[in-house]
Chains A and B, each alone.
Chain A
Amino acid sequence: MGARVLFVCGVVAALAVSSAGARPVVTPGVSANEIKLGSSVPLSGEAAIAGNVARGIEAYFKYVNDKGGVFGRKLTFTYLDDGYDPGRAVNNTIRLIQQEQVLAVFSSLGTSNNLAVRKLLNDAKVPQLYVSSGATTFGRDYKKYPWTIGYIPPYSEEGELYARYVVKNIKQPKIAVLYQNDDYGRDLLGGLKRGLGSKTKSIVASVGYDPTSADVQPQVTQLKASKANVLMVFAFGKFSLQAFNAVSRLGWKPQIFVNDVSSASALMAIVPQNAANGSISIVFGKDPASPLWRNDKGIKLFQSILKKYGSSINARDLKDGYFTAGMATAYTMVDTLKKAGRNPTRQSVMNAATHLNEKGNPFVLPGIVLHTTPSSRFPLTQVRLQRWSGNAWHPFGKLISAKP
């Protein structure tokens, strides 16, 4: 018995020695002085502006490189334009794995675009890190897709938070919901319903709009007819602006909740006639356009990095939240690489990403801890509520959890 164990141990040791001796383990994307990461984002087409996330990441990595990189290796970040077309995102991702030979695909943008490549990346065992989408599936379905992890709070949880607030603070709520009629809008709506629980009936009207619509006024008109006193705006960009506009034109005065994605200060500030006053949303990142952070160290750091290391940067970019969002993710990525050890492999990077305990990310709200475990893959799940008044968001209450 003892002899056999000894024998097995001997063989294992011999194997280990021989494989180590034969050639050093080569990890794609890692060389003596470089770590390669890649991403697919829109730089053209309708969603081109969101590509600034990747430009923010690039600037932050250059800053880190200037300070010596990660364990002496420089970070190289290749981001390719997909025009927000999942087909092109697949092509880009294959190019990143096969041609650019990246260590990991990181912060690619859009729900469909990430869904399209999830199987591909998992089959190839390439980490799909910190997906730029709040679709719940990226953090939830890790059993099937162990190489994938999300980043921002899941949309469904956001919906649940609003539900909890309504139940607690509004008497006899009658809720009307305007939602984008796709995965994104329905994720939010689903969360809202779950959060209301037994009070789901307080949703008196929900109307979807299609992103090919010119204006959402007809939908808002329909919602107003339901005589609701609460309006949930689960929309995107200009559609939420149009919703506020329509609410004010119809002379309707509900308590409005607007989801995080469409609540950027720059957007809210141009809603006419103070129609946005009193609206409630959640917040987790620092918005460079908000007067709240004008003298904040993190935002000052953000702006100095962008000015020094960004390419083709102009004044308006310094107030663009997409760049800040990119830097927040880049900060976490650097953290992850440091955790992954001196000789990172795809496995060790994935391991680091699922054992995060990051405090003090300068680009998110003070006090937020980004925490993950192999079975809880939602890095950013602490948020605060905020209320819009006097042309600025004002956070209120403590950090609350948006962990599923």
Chain B
Amino acid sequence: MFLGAFTWTEFAQQLAAGIREGAIYAGLALAIVIIYRSTRVINFAQGEMATFTTFIAWSLMNHGLSFWTAFPIVLAIAFAGGVAIERVVIRPVENAPVLTIVIITLGLALLLNGLMSVIWGGANRQFNGPFSTRTIDLGSVPISVQDIGIVAVSVGLVVLLALFFRFTKLGLALRAAAVNPESSRLVGIRVGWMLALGWGIAAVLGAVAGMMIAPVVFLDPNMMQTILLYAFAAAVLGGLDSPIGAVVGGILLGVTITLLGRYVGFIGSTLKLPAALLLILVLLLVRPGGLFGRVAVRRV
């Protein structure tokens, strides 16, 4: 395979591409983490939920709305949808084995994917995001405004979430309900609704991620399928219950995969994903909760 000469310019470009790619994974990883925090479940439908809301945004914009008019409408729909999903299909099996709930999210993923194909068709579509695709030169490295925007949004979301969980009453209640439902109930927190709220927030995060990603990878019903795999890896790397971990994990993963694929000849494009997963496994052996996560320590 062609490796080519090493130049710092290209290295900087690859690094930028890796960070951008990582920010894409981070967006969805954040949503995965929020649901894991509130319900201890991994949501296989997270990707399809995000794509679905992005299609709704696409439809609205196709009917003449501007991105920023459509944006709040889509977020509201996403939130309502997330809450509704929790109430209708997750709530009834709350106390079932975790596998049962995981399988339901999987069923949801298949259902939504099929539904999107039926409603919007399987073709790729252009999605005009909020950011210009113009490039600006940093030194000799051309970087598009869009890429900077994607990274900024991911970082901004984490800051917002941190503030929400730390300083608002609702955020605190949400955390309490997840960590200790029994005691929370005693102090008057409506635990059931808190879990639904978690799903709503995750759906909103997914929708934002979808609308950021679609301009780059183009919109189709399967848009998130590969990205979901990477987002899972990012969430595990950062720690399944840590929002900051999701973003750091995502960007680390993006950079690692890009650089491994480019500069390690044996790995190339074929083995870059397995190689990254192997690295994550090694890290988990040292830190079983990921970079920022916590796992109840139990030594036996």
Instruction: Check whether chain A touches chain B (CB < 8 angstroms).
Output: yes
A residues adjacent to B (C-beta < 8 A): 44, 46, 48-49, 181, 205-210, 212-215, 217-219, 221-222, 224-226, 237-238, 241-242, 245, 248-251, 266-267, 270, 272-273, 316-317, 320
Asked whether, in the complex, the Cβ of A181 is within 8 Å of the Cβ of B270, the reply is yes
Asked whether, in the complex, the Cβ of A270 is within 8 Å of the Cβ of B125, the reply is yes
> Measured between alpha carbons, how far is A267 from B147 in the docked complex, in Å?
23
Which residues in chain B, 10-35, are within 8 Å of chain A measured between CB atoms?
A: 10, 13-14, 17-18, 20-21, 24-25
A250 touching B142 in the complex, CB below 8 Å, given contacts A218-B14, A222-B262? yes
Having A214-B21, A237-B124, A320-B123, one finds 18 other A-B pairs with CB under 8 Å, namely A49-B117, A49-B122, A207-B2, A208-B1, A208-B269, A210-B270, A210-B272, A212-B273, A214-B25, A215-B216, A242-B216, A245-B216, A249-B135, A251-B135, A251-B142, A266-B123, A272-B126, A317-B121
Q: Is B239 an interface residue (CB 8 A)?
A: no
> Measured between alpha carbons, how far is A213 from B217 in the docked complex, in Å?
11
* Chain A contacts for B225, CB-based, 8 A: 46
Q: Closest A residue to B143 by CB, please name it.
A: A249
* Chain A contacts for B133, CB-based, 8 A: 245, 248-249, 272-273
Asked whether, in the complex, the Cβ of A49 is within 8 Å of the Cβ of B123, the reply is yes
Q: Is B218 an interface residue (CB 8 A)?
A: yes
Asked whether, in the complex, the Cβ of B21 is within 8 Å of the Cβ of A217, the reply is yes
A238 touching B14 in the complex, CB below 8 Å, given contacts A250-B142, A251-B135? no
Asked whether, in the complex, the Cβ of B14 is within 8 Å of the Cβ of A267, the reply is no
> Measured between alpha carbons, how far is A248 from B146 in the docked complex, in Å?
13
Cross-chain pairs A/B with CB under 8 angstroms, 5 sampled: A49-B123, A214-B226, A224-B10, A251-B142, A272-B133
Q: Closest A residue to B220 by CB, please name it.
A: A238
Q: Is B114 an interface residue (CB 8 A)?
A: yes
Q: Is B55 an interface residue (CB 8 A)?
A: no
Q: Is B290 an interface residue (CB 8 A)?
A: no
Q: Closest B residue to A237 by CB, please name it.
A: B124
Report the minimal beta-carbon distance from A259 to chain B, rounded to whole angstroms. Answer: 16
Q: Which range holds the interface residue count of chain B?
A: 35 or more
Q: Is B230 an interface residue (CB 8 A)?
A: yes
Asked whether, in the complex, the Cβ of A221 is within 8 Å of the Cβ of B17, the reply is yes
Asked whether, in the complex, the Cβ of B124 is within 8 Å of the Cβ of A241, the reply is yes
* Chain B contacts for A270, CB-based, 8 A: 124-126, 218
Asked whether, in the complex, the Cβ of B222 is within 8 Å of the Cβ of A222, the reply is no
Q: Is B7 an interface residue (CB 8 A)?
A: yes
> Measured between alpha carbons, how far is A206 from B2 in the docked complex, in Å?
6
* Chain B contacts for A251, CB-based, 8 A: 135, 142
Asked whether, in the complex, the Cβ of B261 is within 8 Å of the Cβ of A226, the reply is no
> Measured between alpha carbons, how far is A238 from B227 in the docked complex, in Å?
14
* Chain B contacts for A317, CB-based, 8 A: 121
* Chain B contacts for A219, CB-based, 8 A: 269
> Measured between alpha carbons, how far is A206 from B135 in the docked complex, in Å?
25
Q: Closest B residue to A289 by CB, please name it.
A: B123
- Annotate B251-262 by CB proximity to A: 1 below 8 A, 0 otherwise: 000000010011
Asked whether, in the complex, the Cβ of B122 is within 8 Å of the Cβ of A217, the reply is no
* Chain B contacts for A320, CB-based, 8 A: 121, 123
* Chain A contacts for B222, CB-based, 8 A: 46
Asked whether, in the complex, the Cβ of A207 is within 8 Å of the Cβ of B121, the reply is no
Asked whether, in the complex, the Cβ of A208 is within 8 Å of the Cβ of B268, the reply is yes
- Annotate B223-266 by CB proximity to A: 1 below 8 A, 0 otherwise: 00111011000000000000000000000000000100110000
Asked whether, in the complex, the Cβ of B217 is within 8 Å of the Cβ of A48, the reply is no
Asked whether, in the complex, the Cβ of A238 is within 8 Å of the Cβ of B124, the reply is yes
The 6 closest A-B pairs by CB, nearest first: A49-B122, A270-B126, A225-B10, A210-B269, A249-B144, A221-B13
Q: Closest B residue to A270 by CB, please name it.
A: B126
Asked whether, in the complex, the Cβ of A222 is within 8 Å of the Cβ of B10, the reply is yes
Q: Is B97 an interface residue (CB 8 A)?
A: no
Q: Is B4 an interface residue (CB 8 A)?
A: yes
